[in-house]
Amino acid sequence: MKRGTMPTMKDVAKEAGVALGTVSKVFNDIPVGEDYRRRVLDAAQKLGYQVNSYARGLKAGKTGTVALILPNAYDPYFAALADSVCQTLARRGCRMLMAVTGSDPDAEQQCIRMVEQNKVDGIIGLTYNPALEIPASIPFVSIDRYFNPAVPCVASDNFGGGQLAVEKLAERGCRRLLFLRIGADVPGEPDKRMGGFQAACQARGLEHEALALNDRDGYEPFRVFLRSHVEGGRLSYDGIFCNTDRLAFYVQNMLAELGLRVPEDVQLVGFDGVRRFGNDGYYCSTIVQPVGQLAETSVNILLEEDRSALPSLICLPVSYAPGGTTLDG
Amino acid sequence: MKRGTMPTMKDVAKEAGVALGTVSKVFNDIPVGEDYRRRVLDAAQKLGYQVNSYARGLKAGKTGTVALILPNAYDPYFAALADSVCQTLARRGCRMLMAVTGSDPDAEQQCIRMVEQNKVDGIIGLTYNPALEIPASIPFVSIDRYFNPAVPCVASDNFGGGQLAVEKLAERGCRRLLFLRIGADVPGEPDKRMGGFQAACQARGLEHEALALNDRDGYEPFRVFLRSHVEGGRLSYDGIFCNTDRLAFYVQNMLAELGLRVPEDVQLVGFDGVRRFGNDGYYCSTIVQPVGQLAETSVNILLEEDRSALPSLICLPVSYAPGGTTLDG
């Protein structure tokens, strides 16, 4: 081997005293005898041989790279997902390309073109883009949004989460429940939180009401609504379930402005399980999304070799965590 | 062109009625006449030709991909950085590979090997790994940590930030200042916050003290220290500067436990500019890191073609934002 040039597979074969094909097998994860494998790896290490992953990608048609599409990376739920997906992929020997698309509606479609161009092996996407076209040939796992039966969707058990919120509020003495929702126009799995809330209230015979707004409405209508439901210093509701922790945080401030105490006068449950500073306490009592399991499941489905019988929707169990806005013993 | 096979450059050349070299020039961004360029792009679109980026990477030695190394993606400062770097790279036509390394000390070194293996064009790294070996040949920009003059480091003006905190506290009537710090062992640019604090206190002739702890000490010593500095219901300090917003948040709770009001009895300034839920209000009055500018500058330096005269350290200006823990008019 010449000095100053990068070693090749041939150099490794010579050093290890094996056939070139054996070296190739080792670096393409094709089984060879352990003794041969050892000799090849030792020789490769000695020579400082590095697999040229471009040449490798060309041959195997695999890049070992998965793209994660998120609206942004700063929202704490998205940030936690990015962290978990990245770690899960690393454990599977894969790298994660990240695309944040909030400010660029074309970015998601560009991501899909990357797969077609062989730049990534597949995509895990959490997208609010209703027009996204996902070719059936592309390994794609959608988080929180159901496209069609051919695109596996992984989500929290949002319906069950709505039921769980009611159950926890009822157990803590609430009898008149309110559901507050703010979110995007595009339908998604999180919409089922309201269905779970209503079903559980009906099953328990609890008085309930819901106010569901769109992002563009802003938070002000909630303030107006709450104010109009205070009489003699008391709110008409003793338990409120908000569709996100963020909304619960705002609602808590609105209630304070109205002179109402949380949790003494009104109990409050949010959804998501967002933690202060990413890993500290919860903002409020909340239905916690299983972020680690969402990541794990998404990666497993994406990397599944047999793509002939994939599920169309997987809902993962949520849990309740007290966070100071409910009367927990 | 045969049906059912992927079109090649040759097919595009034939369709466009130009030489193969012209097609190659167009897809390698080498200038050709606009008429030729149009014909090639139209033909490529008509045939559904897609640049094989692996073959392209092999030739040009560029992947259009940059790796971002972070300890984790859930910490709000890291999450904001990831978001900004991703967006900045996208504007430069680059993709971002993300590696979170908190749980795996080898992951950073693996990232560096990726560059050597031609998988990414360069690395932007925020790392607490003191043993990280960065070969001089690798485009690497370090955020918040200075390695050596050959590795450009981009950071906030942490010293200036410490001075700014003192200035703001002094302007709001504080006379006896306390600096509290908790952080990693590995020296980094953020350590300069303390130097700025002390220099500004000395310049203004303000009484001051500092308590600097290591992560493994935990927060309890702060509680003990504060408790031991309360006499007759008053704290010995009327202004506290904490090296992070997270610490300021904890300290605020500790002060509340001691019956001290923030900001009436003690004013409090943090550092970072962390926002609730990623983009809502600040947790406390704070010195805000210019995350967008940190990302922009890091990317610019990383992608700089002329690498013969790079700066070794760039400090970007911070700003003050009131957040309810200071007496702002």
Query: What was the pLDDT predicted at B59?
Result: 45
Return the SS3 of B125: strand
Question: Which of A133-147, A149-163, A214-228, A288-302 is the least confident region?
Answer: A133-147
Beta strand ranges found along A51-203 (DSSP E): 65-70, 95-100, 122-125, 140-143, 153-156, 176-183
CA distance A184 to chain B (A): 17
Best to test chain A binding among B247, B277, B289, B291 (most A CBs inside 10 Å): B277
Q: Which residue of A has its CA nearest to B114?
A: A53
Distance CA B179, CA B162 (A): 9
Query: What was the pLDDT predicted at A196?
Result: 97
Distance CA B90, CA B92 (A): 5
What's the CA angle centered on B261, arms B259 and B263, to 5 degrees? 160
Q: Which residues in B lie closer than 8 A to residue A90 (C-beta atoms)?
A: 99-100, 104, 107
The verdict on residue A199 lying in a domain is yes
| B-contacting residues in A 8-27 (Cβ below 8 Å) | none
When pLDDT is averaged across residues B178-202 and rounded to a whole number, the result is 94
Mean pLDDT estimate for chain A:
89
Q: How many residues does chain A have?
A: 329
The tens digit of pLDDT for each residue in B192-238 reads 999 999 999 999 999 999 999 999 999 999 999 999 999 999 999 99
Shared-domain flag, residues A297 and A281: no
CA distance A55 to chain B (A): 7
The verdict on residue A1 lying in a domain is no
pLDDT tier, A31 (very low <50, low <70, confident <90, very high otherwise): low
> CB distance from A76 to chain B under 8 Å?
yes
Shared-domain flag, residues A70 and A172: no
Distance CA B202, CA B182 (A): 22
Strands B319-321 and B286-288: antiparallel
Say whether B100 and A107 touch across the interface (CB within 8 A): no
Question: What's at B26, amino acid-wise?
Answer: V
Shared-domain flag, residues A214 and A251: yes
Nearest to A83 among B87, B100, B117 (CB): B100
Query: What was the pLDDT predicted at A306?
Result: 84
The neighbouring-strand residues paired with A155 are A315
Shared-domain flag, residues B190 and B107: no
Shared-domain flag, residues B231 and B267: yes
Shared-domain flag, residues A237 and A254: yes
Return the SS3 of A320: strand
Query: How far is CA B194 from each of CA B200, B289, B323, rounded to the nearest angstrom?
Result: 10, 16, 21
Return the H-helix or E-strand segment holding B231. Answer: strand B230-231
Q: Is the pLDDT of residue A96 over 70?
A: yes
| A-contacting residues in B 83-112 (Cβ below 8 Å) | 83, 86-87, 90, 95-100, 103-104, 107
Say whether A245 and B277 touch across the interface (CB within 8 A): yes
Mean pLDDT estimate for chain B:
89
**B71: which 2 tokens?**
């300890």
The verdict on residue B182 lying in a domain is yes
Share of chain A above pLDDT 90, in %: 64
Share of chain B above pLDDT 70, in %: 92
When pLDDT is averaged across residues A268-284 and rounded to a whole number, the result is 97
Best to test chain B binding among A86, A96, A247 (most B CBs inside 10 Å): A86
Query: What was the pLDDT predicted at B51?
Result: 63
**B153: which 2 tokens?**
């480091």
The verdict on residue A325 lying in a domain is no
Distance CA B14, CA B7 (A): 11
| Domain CATH code at residue A189 | 3.40.50.2300
Shared-domain flag, residues B284 and B164: yes
Say whether B83 and A100 touch across the interface (CB within 8 A): yes
Query: What was the pLDDT predicted at B111?
Result: 78
CA distance A70 to chain B (A): 10
Q: Which residues in A lie closer than 8 A to residue B98 (C-beta atoms)?
A: 82, 86, 96-98
Nearest to B85 by CA among A105, A111, A99: A99
Q: Which residues in A lie closer than 8 A to residue B53 (C-beta atoms)?
A: 117-119
Nearest to B83 among A73, A116, A274 (CB): A73
Q: Is the pLDDT of residue B103 over 70?
A: no
Say whether A76 and B73 touch across the interface (CB within 8 A): no
Shared-domain flag, residues A100 and A216: no
What's the CA angle centered on B196, arms B250 and B267, to 5 degrees? 40
| A-contacting residues in B 219-248 (Cβ below 8 Å) | 245-246
pLDDT tier, B112 (very low <50, low <70, confident <90, very high otherwise): confident
CA distance B272 to chain A (A): 11
Q: Which residue has the tokens 């062109």?
A: B1
Q: Is the pLDDT of residue B161 over 80?
A: yes
Nearest to A72 among B72, B83, B119 (CB): B83
The tens digit of pLDDT for each residue in B47-58 reads 877 665 444 444
Q: Which ipTM was obtained for this model?
A: 0.77
Query: What was the pLDDT predicted at A43?
Result: 87
Distance CA B123, CA B156 (A): 19
Nearest to B103 among A87, A98, A245 (CB): A87
The verdict on residue B57 lying in a domain is no
| Domain CATH code at residue A33 | 1.10.260.40
Distance CA A277, CA A122 (A): 31
Query: What was the pLDDT predicted at A104?
Result: 66
When pLDDT is averaged across residues A46-58 and rounded to a whole number, the result is 59
Nearest to A104 among B90, B100, B277 (CB): B90
A188 is in which domain, residue-wise? 158-289
Shared-domain flag, residues B32 and B88: no
**B176: which 2 tokens?**
């006896």
DSSP string, A198-246: HHHHHHHT-EEEEEEEEGGG-SHHHHHHHHHTEETTEES-SEEEESSHH
pLDDT tier, A2 (very low <50, low <70, confident <90, very high otherwise): very low
Q: Which residue has the tokens 């400062």?
A: B77
Share of chain B above pLDDT 90, in %: 64
Say whether B75 and A279 touch across the interface (CB within 8 A): yes
Shared-domain flag, residues B173 and B281: yes
Q: Which residue has the tokens 């200071």?
A: B326
Indicate the number of domains in chain A. Answer: 3
Question: Which of A33-37, A128-132, B283-287 is the least confident region?
Answer: A128-132
Shared-domain flag, residues A300 and A198: no
For residue B212, count other CB atoms closer than 10 A to its CB. 13
Backbone angles phi, psi at A313, to 5 degrees: -150, 130
Shared-domain flag, residues B42 and B120: no
Question: Which of A39-48, A194-203, B189-198 is the least confident region?
Answer: A39-48
**B159: which 2 tokens?**
């010293």
Return the SS3 of A159: helix
Distance CA A246, CA A234 (A): 24
The verdict on residue B3 lying in a domain is no
| A-contacting residues in B 115-154 (Cβ below 8 Å) | 116-119
The verdict on residue B127 lying in a domain is yes
Backbone angles phi, psi at B70, to 5 degrees: -135, 150
The tens digit of pLDDT for each residue in A99-154 reads 998 856 677 887 788 777 778 899 999 988 777 888 888 899 999 998 888 899 99
The tens digit of pLDDT for each residue in B36-45 reads 888 888 888 7
